[in-house]
Amino acid sequence: MIRIDDTRPFIPVQIAVLTVSDTRSLAEDRSGQTLADRIAEAGHLLAARDIITDDAGKIRDKVLGWSKDPGIDVVITTGGTGFTGRDVTPEALEPIFEKRMDGFSEVFHRISYDKIGTSTVQSRATGGVVNATFVFVLPGSPGACKDAWDGILKPQLDYRHMPCNFVEIMPRLDEHLRRSKS
């Protein structure tokens, strides 16, 4: 099923990691660190990393700012995807998605189900595109971050992954913007 075409070059992607938490600091951020470590191990670049509170406006502003930065290709958030009153990451970000990636959530839940069973229904992981930047919204546990990275993001962010991958379509994510200017 998964095939790596070794005739294609590896293309490093610039990835920002945002942890959403009212209780953690960067020093205690195991989920963000898990992602940062995996990004580096895969050969990609950690373009930015931050931690902010569970505030929809702050989350949206940070992701919008990063999505406009030409040095960032992908934003991964961790935290705020549950059902408690403070969990607002999907509400903050889904309204700014130009395109939703329903398949990301579906595959994430399939992978998660194999590991934690029906408890996966307590996550509202999601993904989409904002300003020609891929945005992935993950739960705030290191295990969920590992599952999403290892099972979806690592292969899809590898240009050599066949039959298709996110990297090869990155240059075309803003076609609608370029077309409307001409």
Sequence spans of domains, the chain: 10-171
pLDDT average, residue stretch 72-87: 96
The pLDDT confidence band at residue 70, using thresholds 50, 70 and 90, is very high
Q: What pLDDT is attached to residue 178?
A: 61
Per-residue pLDDT at 82 exceeds 90: yes
Spatial contact of 36 and 15, defined as CB atoms under 8 Å apart? no
Q: What pLDDT is attached to residue 179?
A: 52
Beta strand 45-52 with 3-4: parallel, antiparallel or unpaired?
unpaired
Q: What pLDDT is attached to residue 17?
A: 98
Per-residue pLDDT at 2 exceeds 90: no
Q: What pLDDT is attached to residue 181?
A: 55
Per-residue pLDDT at 59 exceeds 70: yes
Per-residue pLDDT at 41 exceeds 90: yes
Output the six-digit token pair for 52: 């902010």
The pLDDT confidence band at residue 180, using thresholds 50, 70 and 90, is low
The pLDDT confidence band at residue 174, using thresholds 50, 70 and 90, is confident
136: Cβ contacts below 8 Å, ≥ 6 apart: 74, 75, 76, 77, 104, 125, 126, 127, 148, 153
pTM here is: 0.95
The CATH fold of domain 10-171: Molybdenum Cofactor Biosythetic Enzyme; Chain A (3.40.980)
Rounded Cα gap, residues 20 and 139, in angstroms: 9
**Ramachandran class of 132: left when φ > 0, alpha when ψ lies in -120 to 50, beta otherwise:** left
The pLDDT confidence band at residue 115, using thresholds 50, 70 and 90, is very high
Q: What pLDDT is attached to residue 15?
A: 98
Q: What pLDDT is attached to residue 49?
A: 98
| Element (DSSP H or E) covering residue 128 | strand 126-130
63: Cβ contacts below 8 Å, ≥ 6 apart: 18, 75, 77, 92, 93, 96, 130, 135
Q: What pLDDT is attached to residue 136?
A: 98
